[in-house]
Amino acid sequence: MKRTFTAQNITCNNCANTIKVTLEDDFGNVEVNLGANPKEVSIEINDEKELKHFKDEMQSIGFPVIEEIKG
């Protein structure tokens, strides 16, 4: 299921590319919305184990997840 999260410290295309390159092997297509404030990351996550992995990876590369955007 595609889920969208807000994240800290995303400021430019280089940040978006870092997120995409880091996460694409584990999660497939990663979308970063630089037009939103705070910035948004959309990704396919199917269970709580993947959710924890996603949040841990985002934290480790310097873009902590703030919250999930509920549709």
Quick: pLDDT tens for 20-56. 999 999 999 999 999 999 999 999 999 999 999 999 9
CA nearest neighbour of 41 among 70, 11, 20: 20
Please give the C-alpha separations between residue 64 and each of 55, 61, in angstroms, as whole numbers: 7, 8
Res 70: pLDDT? 86
pLDDT at 7 over 80: yes
Say how many domains are in the chain. 1
What is the CATH classification number for the domain harbouring 51? 3.30.70.100
Res 68: pLDDT? 97
Domain housing 10: 2-69
